[in-house]
Amino acid sequence: MKKIQCVVLGATGVVGQHFLRLLANHPLFQVAAVCASEGRIGQRLGDVNALIPEGIPAESADLRFSAMDAKSLASLKVQVAFSALPTEVAKEVEKDLAEAGIHIFSNAGAYRMDERVPILIPEVNHPHLALAREQLQHSKGFIITNANCTTTGLTLALLPILPFGIRKLVVASYQAISGAGYPGVPALDISGNVIPYIDGEEAKVRKEVAKIFGRLQETKIEPMDWQVYAHCVRVPTLVGHLLSVHVEVENEPTLEQVQACFENYQPDRPVQGLPTAPVKPVVLLPEKNRPQPNRDVMLGDPVRAQGMTVAVGRLEVEKQVIRMIALSNNLIRGAAGGSVLNAELALREGLL
Amino acid sequence: MKKIQCVVLGATGVVGQHFLRLLANHPLFQVAAVCASEGRIGQRLGDVNALIPEGIPAESADLRFSAMDAKSLASLKVQVAFSALPTEVAKEVEKDLAEAGIHIFSNAGAYRMDERVPILIPEVNHPHLALAREQLQHSKGFIITNANCTTTGLTLALLPILPFGIRKLVVASYQAISGAGYPGVPALDISGNVIPYIDGEEAKVRKEVAKIFGRLQETKIEPMDWQVYAHCVRVPTLVGHLLSVHVEVENEPTLEQVQACFENYQPDRPVQGLPTAPVKPVVLLPEKNRPQPNRDVMLGDPVRAQGMTVAVGRLEVEKQVIRMIALSNNLIRGAAGGSVLNAELALREGLL
Amino acid sequence: MKKIQCVVLGATGVVGQHFLRLLANHPLFQVAAVCASEGRIGQRLGDVNALIPEGIPAESADLRFSAMDAKSLASLKVQVAFSALPTEVAKEVEKDLAEAGIHIFSNAGAYRMDERVPILIPEVNHPHLALAREQLQHSKGFIITNANCTTTGLTLALLPILPFGIRKLVVASYQAISGAGYPGVPALDISGNVIPYIDGEEAKVRKEVAKIFGRLQETKIEPMDWQVYAHCVRVPTLVGHLLSVHVEVENEPTLEQVQACFENYQPDRPVQGLPTAPVKPVVLLPEKNRPQPNRDVMLGDPVRAQGMTVAVGRLEVEKQVIRMIALSNNLIRGAAGGSVLNAELALREGLL
Amino acid sequence: MKKIQCVVLGATGVVGQHFLRLLANHPLFQVAAVCASEGRIGQRLGDVNALIPEGIPAESADLRFSAMDAKSLASLKVQVAFSALPTEVAKEVEKDLAEAGIHIFSNAGAYRMDERVPILIPEVNHPHLALAREQLQHSKGFIITNANCTTTGLTLALLPILPFGIRKLVVASYQAISGAGYPGVPALDISGNVIPYIDGEEAKVRKEVAKIFGRLQETKIEPMDWQVYAHCVRVPTLVGHLLSVHVEVENEPTLEQVQACFENYQPDRPVQGLPTAPVKPVVLLPEKNRPQPNRDVMLGDPVRAQGMTVAVGRLEVEKQVIRMIALSNNLIRGAAGGSVLNAELALREGLL
């Protein structure tokens, strides 16, 4: 099978470089182009400042930055774009490229709350892919977004306990500095410190959770009506968003029942076996002091799915309250890996 | 007026050294003795490894460690003990000294849940001092404890909103490594990491909050029946416990009403003007990204009360929910400073 | 005596805010104006983002940013400017203001290597003040610079051992992130990391040391001909530049002789008693694991001189080699405090 | 070929766990036993607290701790011991086991300066293996040590420039907290701080460098007579010892000549192709701000040799002075990996 040619938009940033890493030697996709700000055009990708320890993959190091327009990308036979663009840039570029027939898998927030665009987390809401199919009625290409990095971990951690009837969430986050991109947070602000505010993040969690768990009614999503409260807080860790999660549910399950839900949880068939899909999207850790960013942020199996598994620990159940600590990799599951998995699902479902 | 002679128990630790610092040049108390583990007896206090930047106060540097028994301390005319002992040691020593007539102000957890012993935070529950008076019916000395460092900040932050009728608390903490004492947390565990578990801490928060806000019925405290949920989490900061606080109340106040409660809050008269009492025990910060440990952990006025004020920020009100971020100094307000303030109150109330 | 009216240039940055703090309630100087980038003109100083824990001093909070030209400053009767400007801006502004008769005490590097401008560290080379006097032959105002933050600590640490005849220096630094200003170093780069390169810093150390210890020949400084090697390295600390210092000297002193030089060292008479001058500009710490940034960075007595004393430890002597660890406060002694002390000296010497 | 059965001594510590990781699936060695303190005997290895992110390898998780004596180990057919014991314990145990015929590859410092025992770094001094052969004249087993973690990186970085005739070294280190083992350095001491002292480390560097580069005269090593000065300093990084290295040499090479020495350097034939030997034991990085612990600490190829390559950067040459920054992985090349490589060499050379 011939690989699908793709472009990475915003390839100089932290998430962009994770896209490059995840797409290197990918069985289905091939990075044929890279784009960044205009000043980069013509420069060699391999000369860019590496922001992740793994560096720029050798196989794409010799690519040169293209202009970020449909014509230039068409000349490189690009069918799919993985976008790590800043929101403001994404707003214009993603729309233009989609209209020109390039399918967009985006980490940007620009179109997440657009009612025609799904926020897709395959294990959580793969039926929402229907929205992308609907977009194709009006446009040559579609836009699919992954969720905000904090939302992503939260939704996956909640997945096994959906049957108990969620009513209210109270969440406090411990978010890594890499979540702010590069250069991001000044060291002078965060070293040995905690900053209890991340611009716009709490509203995103609230709205995105409602949309992701929303019900698809024909071509519209009716958002879930849970009460959601979140404090989003930056802490001095490098990678991994940890969450204190308090859930109030309709039923009154026992601890054993909730544990069993976690242990028996399996992704739906449409997701199973996708290259970047972990066998277990959520694992329950038995140790009393886990998950921890430094230890658990790369969980995920097979190798290609490392960083795609959400770790849950400290599970407690008390009447109608379920409490846990959850950890997700904000750069992989909560960003680049999420969109790569979305593209794999879209391909399997015949959308590419 | 002659100063009251006192001993610092556990003077080699972090909290012990804060006791020494806060009692240096104190208008009412004079450090006449110091105790630590048996091997220290006879050693010079000034030769101890300084664990706080301010070091050992010059005025007590030449003290030599005494044996930790009532007889030795009596010979030094000690009337009051400030205890920074580990729980296990405190259990025996504090009881023995109290029975021998030395009044104990303790940061140790050993007797906090003893029903005869008050957990005293003057601004919150000064009437509980009655328990200490009651102890004197059966013992020559009494024991008064300060609350756990996490509980302390929480109770003070809740003080202004008590009138709205608290029903439920959901708290997540961001606790500094100094809260674990010295040597405490290995750097290998916490550097650039988050540890979502602190042994015994969550149960303490739950029980202590219930007791501190409990109603004094004659000589017993009837614990408050709020629902309290806490996740206690260690983060790589040095000093300052930050809290994400979600409160559900009976009333439905407006944001303005809640703000007014914070702004108009004043400590009760018995506390006003005590040397270590801040003019404002709780301040509401207007900035959207505050409080932060590195910036706000030393709030408190006058100078002697630095680190005694709890900073609150990000106040939000939504129907019956009040949300905020609170920060307290775990070594001062939540430990040594708390007990010094307790002793000042006890003295004013005629208990010493 | 009437205080001298002064302006702080670059008042929004970390060093600028230290100038404001050090000049608050200063017995000789009064902050009458503040300047920053053009967009700030008219804004209230107190509304600026506080970058140091002490915040903006109340006494200057109501100042409004002025235009950074001689005319505007003349209307505020400004005689002296303390400059925390970036080098590029300093190049033009400092020259213009000096020509217009405002005396400049600058932390910027723009004119440090100008042969008419002294790099002044009062305890080290107060005779170099003659250069400023010489400038007044050709200009209505003069420029005096303090040294680079790394150079400053090094020169003060070497001061007591000058008599042994220094020939070669091999230095490795451990520099705090605050040395890079704000926003400065991205947290993603330096958290839990070491960056063995600081742009231009090593050349500065080499050239500035040669000039500062140079001999004044009439109106010129003949640089010292020591061999100087430096590795300047960023480490994840907040404040304080620590140095590993290896010195090769002509003589072969004993350890006792070198220790005595440190212990007996006293600043020259012209410096003694200046408000910001520490009684001991260099102290030798006896502990084997000191100095440490977190413990020793605020050394200095009297209160106004806190952070002005360089701490030296681990003194070793082996034949013609003297080795030590030195620590200086890069924001105070190595920046704002250095220039304030320079201004105090200039005033005492009749230059203002 | 049948694998050689081995034991890991001190398997609960950080270095011990790296031994287990490196020996998992090793083509030549098989972990047949693990030992730790007496209280562990009978416990399951997999139940030990994992101190490294990779955890305990599945293949040895079911091993149970044995008694640490020759008889117990003989019953498990152990021929080789990899020792991560504390020095004091190593002193006795390693000698006993060696006498009983178990060959020791040790990371402990106990026998490093014993004149019969080599400090072996295969690329640097493989001829010193002769000392082990000599030991077998008097004992049934031999002891071979790897160097101290700081020494190891230094000697490998110097290897390519030996031809220029080294005379003097001035070194300052930036050592990670993992170098102190577990629990090791308290977070309260090192968070955001630098500690300019590591007990005994500087003397080790001096003596070990002299011995490792010493000449083998029959069965004795005559230590090298270079002047060696080292400041060993702890910084808040997790893994990786970085070194500022100043070398004075007899010749006066050009920068190009020195660069060529690094680029052309190849390990001697006896080392080439050993499973844990990197193709390039030393690499010269061209970037001006490298090496950095967070980016370069896992260099080494093939996969089994990750963390075995020393990274060198910032090469400067000025007359008879060569300067550089070097970085080595203190847990792999400077500890467990070093001894595994030693064992591989000993096996190839017929000593096992």
User: A139-175 pLDDT, tens per residue?
Assistant: 999 999 999 999 999 999 999 999 999 999 999 999 9
Task: Name the active-site residue from D6, D128, D241, D261.
Answer: D241
The answer to whether the Cβ–Cβ distance between D194 and C290 falls below 8 Å is no
pLDDT tens digits, one per residue of A224-271: 999 999 999 999 999 999 999 999 999 999 999 999 999 999 999 999
CA nearest B235: which of B294, B289, B286, B277?
A: B294
Which residues in chain D have Cβ-Cβ distances shorter than 8 Å to C290? Answer: 196
Which residues in chain A have Cβ-Cβ distances shorter than 8 Å to D191? Answer: 192
Mean pLDDT score of chain A: 97
Which residues in chain B have Cβ-Cβ distances shorter than 8 Å to C286? Answer: none
User: Which residue of chain B is at minimal alpha-carbon distance from D294?
Assistant: B192
Strands (E), chain D: 4-9, 29-35, 80-83, 103-106, 143-145, 166-174, 215-217, 220-222, 227-231, 241-249, 282-284, 310-318, 321-328
For chain C, domain boundaries = 4-148+336-348, 149-329
Residue C32's pLDDT is 97
Start-to-end CA span in chain B (Å): 13
pLDDT tens digits, one per residue of C12-36: 999 999 999 999 999 999 999 999 9
Pick the residue of B191, B195, B235 with the most D CBs within 10 A to test the interface with D by mutation.
B191
> Distance, in angstroms, between D137 CA and closest chain A CA?
47
pLDDT tens digits, one per residue of A46-65: 999 989 888 899 999 999 99
pLDDT tens digits, one per residue of A265-299: 999 999 999 999 999 999 999 999 999 999 999 99
DSSP assignment letter at A252:
-
Average pLDDT for A104-123: 97
Which residues in chain A have Cβ-Cβ distances shorter than 8 Å to B197? Answer: 288-290, 314
Average pLDDT for D123-128: 97
The answer to whether the Cβ–Cβ distance between B192 and D238 falls below 8 Å is yes
Average pLDDT for B267-275: 96
pLDDT of B322 higher than 90: yes
Residue C101's pLDDT is 97
pLDDT of D255 higher than 90: yes
DSSP assignment letter at A311:
E
Mark whether D241 is an active-site residue. Answer: yes
Spatial contact of C202 and C171, defined as CB atoms under 8 Å apart: no
* Strand-strand pairing, B80-83 and B103-106: parallel
Spatial contact of B153 and B241, defined as CB atoms under 8 Å apart: yes
Spatial contact of C351 and C129, defined as CB atoms under 8 Å apart: yes
Residue A241's pLDDT is 98
Average pLDDT for A13-34: 97
Which of D191, D294, D295 lies nearest to residue A192, judging by beta carbons? D191
Which of C192, C246, C313 lies nearest to residue D196, judging by beta carbons? C313
Which residues in chain A have Cβ-Cβ distances shorter than 8 Å to C236? Answer: 187, 191
pLDDT tens digits, one per residue of B59-70: 999 999 999 999
Average pLDDT for D125-143: 97
Q: Which fold has domain A149-329?
A: Dihydrodipicolinate Reductase; domain 2 (3.30.360)
Q: Looking at the complex, does the CB of residue A237 fall below 8 Å from at least one CB of chain B? A: yes
Average pLDDT for B270-291: 97
Residue D292's pLDDT is 97
Mark whether D126 is an active-site residue. Answer: no
Q: Looking at the complex, does the CB of residue B53 fall below 8 Å from at least one CB of chain C? A: yes
Q: Distance between CA atoms of D279 and A341, rounded to whole angstroms? A: 36
Task: Name the active-site residue from A26, A103, A128, A241.
Answer: A241
pLDDT tens digits, one per residue of C234-271: 999 999 999 999 999 999 999 999 999 999 999 999 99
Residue B218's pLDDT is 86
Average pLDDT for B99-128: 97
Which of C183, C188, C238 lies nearest to residue A182, judging by beta carbons? C188
pLDDT band at B234 (very low <50, low <70, confident <90, very high): very high
Task: Name the active-site residue from C6, C149, C232, C261.
Answer: C149
pLDDT band at D33 (very low <50, low <70, confident <90, very high): very high
Residue labelled with tokens 């006993």: D96
CA nearest C157: which of C167, C145, C141, C169?
A: C169
Q: Residue A133: in which H helix or E strand, if any?
A: helix A129-135
User: Which residue of chain C is at minimal alpha-carbon distance from A294?
Assistant: C192
Backbone φ, ψ for residue A87 (5° rounding): -50, -45
DSSP assignment letter at D109:
S
Residue D156: C-alpha distances to residues B237, C195, D281, D317 (Å):
37, 21, 7, 18
pLDDT of C1 higher than 80: no
The answer to whether the Cβ–Cβ distance between C177 and A189 falls below 8 Å is no
Q: Residue A14: in which H helix or E strand, if any?
A: helix A14-23
pLDDT of A1 higher than 80: no
Q: Distance between CA atoms of B182 and D189, rounded to whole angstroms? A: 9
Spatial contact of D104 and D83, defined as CB atoms under 8 Å apart: yes
Q: Distance between CA atoms of C257 and C265, rounded to whole angstroms? A: 12
Which of A237, A246, A291 lies nearest to residue B229, judging by beta carbons? A246
Backbone φ, ψ for residue A210 (5° rounding): -60, -40
Q: Distance between CA atoms of D108 and D54, rounded to whole angstroms? A: 23
Average pLDDT for D16-26: 97
Q: Distance between CA atoms of C288 and C11, rounded to whole angstroms? A: 39
Up-side HSE of residue D311: CA atoms within 13 Å toward CB? 28
Residue C235: C-alpha distances to residues B207, B344, C153, D292 (Å):
43, 44, 17, 11
The answer to whether the Cβ–Cβ distance between C183 and A186 falls below 8 Å is yes
Start-to-end CA span in chain D (Å): 13
D281-284: which pairs have CB atoms within 8 A and are 24 or more residues apart? D281/D123, D281/D156, D281/D159, D281/D308, D281/D309, D281/D310, D282/D156, D282/D157, D282/D159, D282/D160, D282/D309, D282/D310, D282/D311, D282/D312, D283/D309, D283/D310, D283/D311, D283/D312, D284/D259, D284/D312, D284/D313, D284/D315
> Distance, in angstroms, between D246 CA and closest chain C CA?
8
CA nearest A232: which of A290, A151, A159?
A: A151
Mean pLDDT score of chain B: 97
Spatial neighbors of A126 by CB under 8 A, at least 6 apart, are: A120, A268, A270, A271, A345
Which of D197, D235, D288 lies nearest to residue C289, judging by beta carbons? D197
Average pLDDT for B206-214: 98
Residue D218's pLDDT is 86
Spatial neighbors of C250 by CB under 8 A, at least 6 apart, are: C164, C165, C166, C167, C320
Strands (E), A42-161: 80-83, 103-106, 143-145
Average pLDDT for B309-338: 98
CA nearest B235: which of B226, B227, B244, B248?
A: B244
Which residues in chain D have Cβ-Cβ distances shorter than 8 Å to B14? Answer: 188
CA nearest C155: which of C82, C87, C90, C230?
A: C230
Q: Cα angle vertex B19, ends D192, B12, to 5°?
A: 65
Average pLDDT for D307-330: 98
Residue A218's pLDDT is 86
Residue A53's pLDDT is 84
Average pLDDT for C168-174: 98
Which of C14, C182, C238 lies nearest to residue A191, judging by beta carbons? C238
Residue labelled with tokens 């578990």: B197
Spatial contact of C331 and C239, defined as CB atoms under 8 Å apart: yes
pLDDT tens digits, one per residue of D57-76: 999 999 999 999 999 999 99
Task: Name the active-site residue from A149, A231, A246, A261.
Answer: A149
Residue C88's pLDDT is 95
User: Which chains lie within 8 Å of chain A at 3 or more CB pairs, if any?
Assistant: B, C, D
List, as ranges, residues 250-269 from C with C-beta within 8 Å of A.
none
Which of C170, C295, C314 lies nearest to residue D246, judging by beta carbons? C170
* Percentage of residues of chain B with pLDDT beyond 70: 100
pLDDT tens digits, one per residue of C67-111: 999 999 999 999 999 999 999 999 999 999 999 999 999 999 999
The answer to whether the Cβ–Cβ distance between C185 and A186 falls below 8 Å is yes
> Distance, in angstroms, between C178 CA and closest chain A CA?
6
Q: Distance between CA atoms of C176 and C235, rounded to whole angstroms? A: 6
Right CATH for D4-148+336-348 from 3.40.50.720, 3.90.230.10, 3.20.20.60, 3.40.309.10? 3.40.50.720
Q: Distance between CA atoms of B291 and B237, rounded to whole angstroms? A: 14
Which residues in chain D have Cβ-Cβ distances shorter than 8 Å to A298? Answer: 53
Residue A54's pLDDT is 86
* Percentage of residues of chain C with pLDDT beyond 90: 97
Q: Looking at the complex, does the CB of residue B186 fall below 8 Å from at least one CB of chain A? A: no
DSSP assignment letter at D105:
E
List, as ranges, residues 281-340 from D with C-beta within 8 Å of C.
288-295, 313-314, 321, 323, 325
Query: Does a cis peptide bond (omega within 30 degrees of 0) precede residue D122?
Result: no
User: Which residue of chain D is at minimal alpha-carbon distance from A188?
Assistant: D192
Spatial neighbors of D132 by CB under 8 A, at least 6 apart, are: D117, D118, D120, D142, D143, D144, D346, D351
